[in-house]
C-alpha cells in the first residue's frame, strides 16, 4: 500500500485514486528558454521514479506534462518579461526556434538520465483555444473579470486561497518584494492574470486573437487547461518542484476547481531544492550546472541520478563536486560488485520474492529511495545464488534505472580483456570491485606466496577475511569480492 506525503494536507497518507488501479498523473514541465540545470532535473528524476514505482506496483498510469513555450514571466507571477522572449532576445532567434532547441535539449538530458518520456507532452502554444474556453467559463461563472485589457482571476470569490501554506496576507502584499510593482487593474492583490493583451507587453512575440483582444495566456491557466484535456476532471497526482507550490500550483487549484465545480486533485507531490554551498541553485548565479557540463567534466549522468536517489525527495540536497566524486566511487564499487556475480539459471523464486518485498516496502514508504538503494546492497549480501541476485537487481532497476546489469556486463568484459592481456604478458591479474587498497593487499599476498612466506600470505588472507573480503585464486591471478 503506497503511502505518500501530501503537500496539501501536510501529512503522509494512503495513496488513493479516483479510478481503482489507474493513476492520472500530471507533472509540470520545463519553460524552454534555456537549458535545464541539474536542480530542475532532480525533480524530473524523482517524478520518474514515482511513475515507475506506480507501474512497478501494478498501477496503470497516464502521465501528462506541459512544455511552457509562452506566458511564463520572470517573477513566476504576473511581473517581469516573458521568459521565452528573454531567451529569444539573448540569442537573437525567434521564440519558436528557442522553444524547439531547448525542448530537444531537455529531452536529450532526460534520455541521458534514463527519465521516461511522459505519455502526453503538450506545448502550451498548441492549446490556445482550450485556454480561451476555460477563461470564458471562469468569466461566466463570475470567478474572473476583465480590467485594463487583461483578464484576472478573482481570488476574493474563494473560501480558501492558500492551499499549501497558511500565509500571512501582509507577507505577500504587493510592493513588499523588491522590483514588484502594483498592478492597479487587480481588485485584490492576490488576483492573477488568466489572459494578457498588448496592454501588458507591446513587444510580445506570440499573440492570438481572443474575445478580449490580441494577446496570450497566463502561465497558470496553461497547466490547468492541459491537464483537463488529457487527464480529465479528476486528477490523482500532481507533481512539481517545491518552488511551484506558490503561486503556480495554488493558482492552478483556484482556477481549475472554480471551473469544474468540484475538488480537482487530492494528492500533491513536491520535490525539494538542490542547493549548492551558497544556497539554492539557479540559472542566474554561479556556475550553470547542466548535464552537458557534468559530461564535459567526465561524469556519467547516471552517477548524478544515483546521487539524487541516495537522498529523500522531501529533503534539500547539497551539491558539490566533492559529493559527486563520492557518488562516483560508490557507483563504481557497486558496479564492480555486481560484475563479480556469475550469470546463471538457478534463480530461487522464494528468495527473489522476499527481497522484492523489501524493495517495494521502501518505495511505498513515501518513495524512500535511500532505503531502496540500501535494499540493493542487501541483495549483494544475501545468502543465495548469483543468478538470483542478478534477477532481483534487474527487477529493481526498472525503477532505479541505473543500467546496473548493462554496466556490470561491460565491467566483466573489461576485466576479462585486462586478464587476458596480463596473462599474455605472464603477469598476475587481480579482478575485484575497484578498490585499490584491497588490490594492494591481494598483491602483497601473492608476493608473499611467491617468496614462500606462507605465514604472511595466510595472515593477509585472514586480514582480508576480517574485512569481509573473499579471495579466490584463479589461473594467472586472483579474484576477490565482498561477502
pLDDT (tens digit, 9 = 90+) per residue, 341-376? 999 999 999 999 999 999 999 999 999 999 999 999
pLDDT at position 378 over 80: yes
Measured CA distances, 1 to 52, 268, 314, 360, 465 (Å): 15, 17, 20, 9, 41
What are the backbone angles phi and psi of residue 461, rounded to the nearest 5°?
-60, -45
> Domains of the chain, with CATH numbers?
3-271 (3.40.50.620), 291-405 (no CATH), 428-482 (no CATH)
Whole-number CA gyration radius for the chain: 27
In the chain the first and final C-alpha atoms are separated, in Å, by 33
Burial of 208 (0-12, 13-18, 19+ CB in 10 A): middle
pLDDT (tens digit, 9 = 90+) per residue, 12-63? 999 999 999 999 999 999 999 999 999 999 999 999 999 999 999 999 999 9
CA distance 442 to 251: 63
Residues 127-151, buried b or exposed e (16+ Cβ, 10 A)? bbebbbebbbebbeeebbbbeeebb
Q: Measured on CA atoms in the order 383, 389, 395, 400, is the torsion positive or negative? A: positive
- Residue 190: which of 156, 234, 215 has the closest Cα? 156
The cell numbers describing 176, all together, are 513588499
Q: Which helix (H) or strand (E) holds 51?
A: helix 38-56
pLDDT (tens digit, 9 = 90+) per residue, 251-260? 999 999 999 9
pLDDT at position 175 over 60: no
Locate all alpha helices (DSSP H) within 300-340, ordered by sequence. 301-309, 321-339
Model pLDDT, residue 426 = 62
* % of the chain with per-residue pLDDT over 90: 72
DSSP string, 80-132: S-BHHHHHHHHHTS-HHHHHHHHHHHHHHHHHHTTPPPPSEEEEGGGGHHHHH
Q: Is 203 helix (H, G, I), strand (E, B) or coil?
A: coil
Number of H helices, E strands in the chain: 15, 17
Model pLDDT, residue 410 = 94
Model pLDDT, residue 172 = 40
Q: Measured on CA atoms in the order 150, 151, 156, 162, is the torsion positive or negative? A: negative
Model pLDDT, residue 438 = 87
pLDDT (tens digit, 9 = 90+) per residue, 88-139? 889 998 889 999 999 999 999 999 999 999 999 999 999 999 999 999 999 9
Instruction: Judge whether 238 and 268 are in contact, CB under 8 Å.
Output: yes
Locate all alpha helices (DSSP H) within 190-249, ordered by sequence. 219-231
pLDDT (tens digit, 9 = 90+) per residue, 270-300? 999 999 877 767 766 556 899 999 999 999 9
Model pLDDT, residue 327 = 98
Model pLDDT, residue 435 = 80
- Residue 267: which of 1, 75, 3, 60 has the closest Cα? 3
When the pLDDT of each residue in the chain is averaged and rounded to a whole number, the result is 91
Helix 349-364 to helix 386-400 angle (10° resolution) is: 30
Burial of 58 (0-12, 13-18, 19+ CB in 10 A): exposed
Model pLDDT, residue 178 = 40
Amino acid at each position: 500500500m503506497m503511502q505518500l506525503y501530501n503537500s496539501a494536507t501536510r501529512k503522509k497518507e494512503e495513496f488513493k485514486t479516483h479510478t481503482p488501479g489507474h493513476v492520472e498523473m500530471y507533472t509540470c514541465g520545463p519553460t524552454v528558454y534555456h537549458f535545464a540545470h541539474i536542480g530542475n532535473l532532480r525533480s524530473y528524476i524523482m517524478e520518474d521514479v514515482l511513475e515507475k514505482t506506480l507501474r512497478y506496483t501494478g498501477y496503470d498510469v497516464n502521465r501528462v506534462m506541459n512544455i511552457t513555450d509562452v506566458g511564463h514571466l520572470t517573477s513566476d507571477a504576473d511581473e517581469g518579461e516573458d521568459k521565452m522572449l528573454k531567451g529569444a532576445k539573448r540569442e537573437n532567434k525567434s521564440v519558436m526556434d528557442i522553444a524547439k532547441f531547448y525542448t530537444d535539449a531537455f529531452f536529450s538530458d532526460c534520455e541521458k538520465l534514463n527519465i521516461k518520456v511522459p505519455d502526453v507532452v503538450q506545448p502550451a502554444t498548441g492549446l490556445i483555444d482550450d485556454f480561451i474556453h476555460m477563461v470564458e467559463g471562469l468569466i461566466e461563472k463570475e470567478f474572473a473579470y476583465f480590467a485594463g485589457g487583461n483578464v484576472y482571476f478573482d481570488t476574493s470569490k474563494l473560501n480558501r486561497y492558500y492551499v499549501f501554506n497558511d500565509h500571512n496576507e501582509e507577507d505577500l502584499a504587493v510592493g513588499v518584494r523588491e522590483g514588484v510593482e502594483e498592478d492597479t487593474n487587480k481588485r485584490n492583490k492576490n488576483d492573477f492574470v488568466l489572459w494578457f493583451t498588448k496592454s501588458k507587453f507591446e513587444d510580445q512575440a506570440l499573440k492570438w486573437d481572443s474575445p478580449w483582444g490580441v494577446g496570450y495566456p497566463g502561465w497558470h491557466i496553461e497547466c490547468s487547461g492541459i491537464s483537463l484535456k488529457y487527464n480529465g476532471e479528476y486528477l490523482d497526482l500532481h507533481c512539481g518542484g517545491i518552488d511551484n507550490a506558490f503561486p503556480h500550483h495554488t493558482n492552478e487549484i483556484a482556477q481549475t476547481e472554480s471551473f469544474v465545480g468540484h475538488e480537482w486533485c487530492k494528492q500533491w507531490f513536491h520535490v525539494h531544492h538542490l542547493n549548492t554551498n551558497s544556497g539554492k541553485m539557479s540559472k542566474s548565479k554561479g556556475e550553470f550546472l547542466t548535464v552537458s557540463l557534468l559530461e564535459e567534466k567526465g561524469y556519467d549522468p547516471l552517477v548524478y541520478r544515483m546521487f539524487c536517489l541516495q537522498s529523500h525527495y522531501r529533503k534539500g540536497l547539497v551539491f558539490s563536486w566533492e559529493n559527486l566524486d563520492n557518488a562516483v566511487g560508490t557507483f563504481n564499487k557497486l558496479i564492480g560488485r555486481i560484475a563479480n556475480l556469475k550469470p546463471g539459471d538457478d534463480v530461487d523464486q522464494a528468495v527473489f520474492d522476499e527481497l522484492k518485498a523489501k524493495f517495494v516496502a521502501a518505495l511505498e514508504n513515501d518513495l524512500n529511495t535511500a532505503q531502496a538503494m540500501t535494499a540493493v546492497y542487501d541483495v549483494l549480501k544475501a545468502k543465495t545464488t548469483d543468478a538470483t541476485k542478478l534477477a532481483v537487481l534487474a527487477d529493481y532497476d526498472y525503477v532505479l534505472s541505473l543500467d546496473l546489469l548493462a554496466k556490470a556486463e561491460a565491467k566483466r568484459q573489461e576485466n576479462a580483456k585486462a586478464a587476458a592481456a596480463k596473462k599474455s604478458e605472464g603477469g598476475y591479474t587481480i579482478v575485484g570491485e575497484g578498490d585499490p587498497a584491497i588490490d594492494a593487499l591481494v598483491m602483497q599476498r601473492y608476493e608473499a606466496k611467491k617468496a614462500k612466506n606462507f605465514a604472511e600470505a595466510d595472515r593477509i588472507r585472514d586480514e582480508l577475511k576480517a574485512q569481509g573480503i573473499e579471495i579466490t585464486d584463479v589461473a594467472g591471478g586472483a579474484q576477490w569480492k565482498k561477502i
